[in-house]
Amino acid sequence: MKKRHSLWYVILVACAAGMAGLLYGFDTAVISGAIGYLEEIYQLSPAMKGWVISCVMIGGVTGVATSGYFSDKFGRKKILMVSAIFFILSAAGSAFATGVTMLVYARILGGLGIGFASALSVTYISECAPPDIRGRLGSLYQLFTVLGISATFYINYGVANSGTYEWGLEAGWRWMLGYGIIPGIIFLSLLFFIPESPRYMVQKGNDEDAFKTLTRINGKEVAKAELASIKQSIVNETNSSTKALFKPGMRKAMGVGIFLALFNQVIGMNAVTYYGPEIFRSIGFGNNTEFLATTVIGAVQVAFTIVALILIDRLGRRKLMAIGSSLMALFMLAIGSIYYFQPANSGILLLITIASFTASFCISMGPIPWIMIPEIFPNHLRAKAVGLATIFLWGANWAIGQFTPMLFSTIGNANTFFMFAVINVICFTFVMTIVPETKNKSLEEIGELWKVEEQGSAVLKHSV
């Protein structure tokens, strides 16, 4: 009974922190429903349409760039609470925006909050979770992200069908954006009930409270060993400056983290999420069936993220990423071919192939980078390293949001998806050559994976 109580406690803590994914998921998906109305109201060019969608990443990059500093100074929990407040204010500002400029500023503020949350949520979960279920608990962030995306697709569909097209132009898009207040309030409320990260508390010399939290998570005996391990790792690793991330040993870890961050974004899923209704509309969907098609994609995301939750600590991170990236390359090739050859029933074929691509993403490059990036760095560098890697993630996110409509209008839909197929082949190659396996290892054990050779290069201490 004691073990069960501890398990449920850590699951509840992880769910509360993972709810940050709702904010990320909502913001990622909601603009896909509103952008068609905004394009007509404000006569947006492809570049401006990309800017309205991608401007949120400016705040996101700023948030992740500063998240390490602020979380090391004030704690993971407090900065997560600030992120929720920013998101609530952003949703309200977006709903009542009087023009494109106000909308952009509101979205940048929301991006700042999401940037904080995306860098710190999985870090917090990793620092609280037992090693044998850390992967599944870390996957909760991605699960809540896809729940947020899926729910938002249904919200967009419901709002679009709540009135005439003219009503949508006048008020519908405001309702879509304003609903973001709800996940923001839920997330903020839950954060009041979780403790600070035990590893952060040890870093600040608060061993007593850290031990209490670890005891609730793992039981008293395991908590003693875990506390001693954390303290020893902090004693042994005193250099916590950002420069330490680029010294021999950490260089390769940082390279793996940046790779995972980039390929979480550039393999094509965000293009589908941001521009899903327009993609389906371009091949024949209409009369709001394009919104209905995106709800199918949202349901697939939820279902296969749950599959990933089950598999990730059984099959391992590396194997799932290799399987997923190879399948995604094939499905992106198929999507491009549908646009190129325009076969009969193109709409149905496109929906099937995009759903298959989405399923492959959700068992691999969707959740796993969010889990592995915090895992591969030692305690004293984790917050800074995750912040730096997530800067690249948000930068890539911005590029996809900004340039996808421009690619569609210049090289065409077919060539754009062929490009994503090539990127997925590159992703598979990197997974097979540089990414280690971290399944069932404690954070301290993972830190020992990297060691320095005499020549000053980083290698894996154990075979992967």
**Is residue 227 included in any domain, yes or no?**
no
pTM of the complete model beyond 0.75: no
**Is residue 232 included in any domain, yes or no?**
no
- Structural domain harbouring 62: 2-194+237-460
Residue given tokens 């704690």 in the structure block: 75
- Residue by residue, pLDDT tens for the chain (464 residues) are 344 447 778 888 888 888 888 888 898 788 888 988 999 999 998 889 889 988 888 888 888 788 878 888 888 899 999 999 999 999 999 999 999 999 999 999 999 999 898 878 877 887 787 767 776 777 788 788 888 888 898 898 899 889 888 999 999 999 999 999 999 999 999 999 888 888 888 888 888 888 888 888 777 877 888 788 778 776 655 555 667 777 776 788 888 889 999 999 999 998 888 888 888 888 888 777 888 888 899 899 889 988 988 888 788 888 999 999 999 999 999 999 999 998 888 889 999 999 999 999 999 998 888 788 877 877 667 767 877 887 888 888 888 888 988 999 999 999 999 999 999 999 999 999 888 877 766 666 666 666 543 344 444 444 44
φ/ψ of 158, rounded to 5, equals -65, -45
Residue-level pLDDT at 458: 40
**Is residue 185 included in any domain, yes or no?**
yes
Neighbours of 464 (CB within 10 A): 12
Give the closest residue to 227 by CA, choosing from 210, 203, 240, 204: 210
Exposed / middle / buried, residue 462 (Cβ in 10 Å: 0-12, 13-18, 19+): exposed
Give the closest residue to 59 by CA, choosing from 114, 101, 117: 114
Residue-level pLDDT at 283: 84
Name the helix (H) or strand (E) containing 459.
strand 458-460
Residue-level pLDDT at 455: 40
Exposed / middle / buried, residue 201 (Cβ in 10 Å: 0-12, 13-18, 19+): buried
**Is residue 405 included in any domain, yes or no?**
yes
Q: Rounded to an integer, what distance in angstroms lies between the CA atom of residue 27 and that of residue 453?
A: 44
Query: 187, 77 in Cβ contact below 8 A?
Result: no
- ∠ CA 290-285-95 to the nearest 5 degrees? 30
Residue-level pLDDT at 444: 61
Q: Rounded to an integer, what distance in angstroms lies between the CA atom of residue 145 and that of residue 21?
A: 4
Query: 291, 153 in Cβ contact below 8 A?
Result: yes
C-alpha distance from residue 175 to each of 114, 156, 167, 171 (Å): 20, 9, 11, 7
Number of H helices, E strands in the chain: 22, 2
Beta carbons within 8 Å of 240's beta carbon, 6+ residues apart: 72, 380, 381, 384
Residue-level pLDDT at 3: 47
Exposed / middle / buried, residue 115 (Cβ in 10 Å: 0-12, 13-18, 19+): buried
**Is residue 35 included in any domain, yes or no?**
yes
- CATH number of the domain encompassing residue 61: 1.20.1250.20
Residue-level pLDDT at 454: 33
**Is residue 205 included in any domain, yes or no?**
no
Quote the tokens at residue 442.
């404690």
Exposed / middle / buried, residue 141 (Cβ in 10 Å: 0-12, 13-18, 19+): buried
DSSP string over 257-310? HHHHHHHHHTTTHHHHHHHHHHHHHTTT--TTHHHHHHHHHHHHHHHHHHHHHH
What's the first-to-final CA gap in the chain, in angstroms?
A: 36
**Is residue 206 included in any domain, yes or no?**
no
Q: Tell me how many domains the chain contains.
A: 1
